[in-house]
Structure 1
Amino acid sequence: MSADQDFPTPILTAEPQSSVFTGDSVTLRCELIQSHNGWEFLWTKHSHSESTETATTIINSVKVSDGGEYKCRARRGRYYTERPKPKVTIKPAQHVFRGDTVTLRCDINGKGVTSWSYSWYKEGSTSVFSDRQEHTLSFVTESDAGKYTCYGSETEGSRWSQKSDKVTLTVLERPKPKVTIKPDQHVFRGDTVTLRCDLNGEGVTNWSYSWYKEGLTSVFSDRQEHTLSSVTKSNAGKYTCKGSETGGSRWSQMSDAVTLTVSDPRAVLSVSPHMWLTEGDPVTLICEVYNFSTGWTFSWFTLTVSAENSRHYNPLSDSSRGAGGNYTVSSAALNHTGVYSCRAEREKPAYKTQFSNTQLLWVTGVSPPVSLIVSPSRTQHFTSVSLSLICEDQSNSTGWRVRRYTDGGRLEDCSSLHRGSQTGSTCTISSTITSHTGVYWCESESGEKHHPVNITVHSGVILESPVHPVTEGDHLILHCLYQHTTSPNLRADFYKDGSLIQNQTTEMSITTVSKSHEGFYYCKHPERGESPKSWISVRASTDSRSDGLKPITTGVTAGLTVSVLIIVFLILLWRYRKNKGGRSQSPSTVSQQQNNSQTSDQNQSGTAHIYDSGGAAVNKDISTDSVSESTELTYAEIELKSTKKKKKKKENKGAGSSDVTHAQSQTHSNRAQEFTSLHIAFWVVTAMF
């Protein structure tokens, strides 16, 4: 018999077929449906080892121990007759997704058996759950996963099959696709984008795809990747996809929706570090294209607004200097004050943006000719209060008015504001509203602009901060205010540039302001809310700007003062010694010199002149020196008092006093004056040192 021929199926019979008693005789026959010669038969009892017998086995005088199950099979050469073994199949596949429907099928190829009954088992359970050849599981879950077997028995007969091999059913979570959009979900009109649907479904080797767009009911693509060329705003929207098994019945979940945004390229202008500048400060204008910043070149403009609020964009003469997106001014000058804008342009695909938002740059001189006085004196103000702004001119000239620049890029006079009026150089707003927020400045009839102030009107918490720049070394105090409480001062947290610097305090105090304190400040109350941000600018003090000259000036002044005092001291000492030398002679000699020598009279009158007329003689003798007036007068007044006292004592002695007595008195008086002169001179010199 060739290997591909069907094996004959043995049929086992017993005579008699009914129960027998001990001692009876029983005949067992193993017959082949198709009779062939050369077969030998193998008999098995209770699954014990096989024994070779003839086709007929006779058990004479049976015993109780002979009872049991007998089996037979035929063998010829290497070919055996086998009990048929069922085969289990699972459709559509052994790996299915939760919610799918699967069918279990038991196939038995048993010759000679026209009808089978089936028994299904699931591993872990001893009971039969189905007696059909096919069993269907609808909307499977993870609990349906496991190993399944079956076997068959002959309907209305005694034959049965072997048990099938176990077949495993795996229930998986239904896969969910992921949609990606390249190069980005935010694209510009005219760009090309690619939609891609990715699926990771175990057991599925080939997927078909379906693409959906929100608002459409039909599938617009069945590819894994779908390309949209030269997109327009009509391509914007939410996209989803799902997959189905190619040639199968399984499908995925629907992906999450991904939104494609199609917009016109937009240039955005910003300023670093800030728009408030002092002459000489560096500043950079930064132009960027929203969400897509490669392949662009940039142009720069200043904006002028006519009285009718029509805009005019004037290109900068050196606009190409900012082609890379940054336009830097290393040292700002007054003529850099203005409103700036930019636009971007690219070649592929060709596109030119609209003009960007506007940014104000304001450069202030060190000593502006006019000041803008704000009352109340702070940058942030409540709504529904009065506000006045006054242009105070240092030269008392007229013709100044208050103007405003709004966040929307409009230039306005005070009189055009809602509830605003201009009287002379004073702008009055009777009741503030949030739209009064803006930059205010003083402008002359000739177009000069000075002293910009950033005014914010807010309905909640505000920060009480100074209107004008703070000078280095000053004491700065900030308060957090709320309009609708008995006491406007709040206990709040204070922030600088987004970082907490003081918490839960009624005021923030900086004792000595320095340039490092410059930045954006705001306050925050846990219940009332947060104030707007205010920029606090710090300017250098006059002393710090002239520090290089101060030590030299001080040194020169001190040196000159000391030199003058020494000269004065030497002159007085010389005159004292000269007078003393004259008086130490005999009375006759002194009298003779007084009568006969005009020079001696001049010397005497010169000495009296020093004491009586203050610093006149000193100025006469050292007129080329820079003598401190207060030092000269102090010295002269003390000497004058001392001199008068001596004269008074001299008059009290009477006219009859001898010349010797007069000379001695004069000597003592001069010695007293000498001590006073030396004491005062050295005291002044020591103090100056």
Structure 2
Amino acid sequence: MLTSLIPVTAASRLTIKPDQHVFRGETVTLRCDIDGEGVTSWQYSWYKDGSFYSSSELQEHTFSPVTESDAGKYFCYGAERGGSRSSQHSYAVTLTVSERPKPKVSIKPDQHVFRGETVTIRCDIDGEGVTSWQYSWYKDSSVSVFSELQEHTFSPVTESDAGKYSCYGAERGGSRSSQNSDAFRLTVSGEAQAVLSVSPQKWLTEGDPVTLICEVYGSSTGWTFSWCTVTLSSGISYNMLHVITSELTGFIKIKYCLKFTPKLKLMSIKPDQHVFRGETVTIRCDIDGEGVTSWQYSWYKDSSVSVFSELQEHTFSPVTESDAGKYSCYGAERGGSRSSQNSDAFRLTVSGVSPRVSLIISPSRTQHFTSVSLSLSCEDQSNSDRGRVRRYTESWGLQDCSSSVWGSQTGSTCTFSSTITSDTGVYWCQSESGENYHPVNITVHCESFVYVFIYLLSIKQVQDTSVVKKKKKHSVAGKRGESPKSWISVRVSHSESQISVLHTLSSVLAVCPYLLVTVVLIFKCCRMRGKMSD
């Protein structure tokens, strides 16, 4: 360090242009500014790394070109020419000189591509201290810049894009610049074509080894081969999912054990997933497997591993609460190795009590005449059709409306087109589970039967009156109407007493015409006796 007895009168300041950090080969200038009032001429002294470097009457010192040996810590001071005054030492400033950066060029997906692909080239510059670069791309040694972006994309690439490329960078707002990158060649060929082949060339079954070969014609490298799951329209899935990268050639082989799993096309349940105890429930498993002619079915309940049925359809008749649960089915090829997937599970719910069913009669009465229409229907509390109409009569015994000629059934409604006296009997509703509800006694009268009762009552009245006084002339006129209600209890148990009552009633109804003639004759005889008595 220089020591001086000369009085210090001014301050010194050292600056470096263009920057303290420069690249080899650039031009760098050191400048020493002294704020000394009244001093017209200075002698400048330069120091590097604490040692005297040079002295000059020049205010600036230039390195052109600068090298790594010029790097160091610099300061300056000044002395008045022909005088006694001097400046202070300036603050030290460090000059850094480094190798000019060389851009690195990358290209994706490859230097050799096919027409129609997307190609991206990128220029990266590692320049210490430079925060922003302006890029320049050149093709085939041309001096014209075709792009100023760090990345340039050809989409789609064509044969005209083929050529030799290089990039270069310059500091934005500064003087530093990079070297030129190494040139690279982009090759563009015709469209790529991938070819898939299979070995061996024969029909395969599950478990057979098979080699799949995928080849891309061309000399490019670095291909990525994707093997994907393929689902055919038949529902067969080939489960192959691999991604393999070949770093050497566009050619790869993969060995795979072929496995296909037919999907269940349909699983159905009738009449519903929610049923009542005693009903009949059928579950069915349908499998759409191309090329499989015969399936062996397996039914599982509540995730059990044991098979409870091997039929395509399984019926619960009658269903009980113990049958409730989650069900699924599965199929295996009979005499082969292929199998289906497991079906989605469904839940069967069985309630303890079925809804109560009532017999609805229209017209709403239990006494009816012959040759009229009559409608009977079974309904529950929600007015929904439920069950079937059944009856027991003396003439026909036990019958269903749907399986006889006495009525026609639509849904849960049974219709009589024309009633007869032998339709008299007990009627009730039977649910799908076999339970019987709401038995009702229905009586069908002959139209003349009402006259019999009227005449008999009239005769009885005449006989009762004749005891008190003579018999007068009476005329009885009957009208068609509803007779008084009469109940006959008939049960399906077929007891002898119940059958006897029905037999008697049926017999009486059968001789209605004969009774009518007899009553008329008796009535005429009574009138003649009355005249004779008079």
Fold conserved between structures, TM > 0.5: no
TM bucket (normalised to shorter chain) is 0.3 to 0.5
Which has the larger strand fraction?
Answer: 2
TM-score (norm 2): 0.38
Which has the larger helix fraction?
Answer: 1
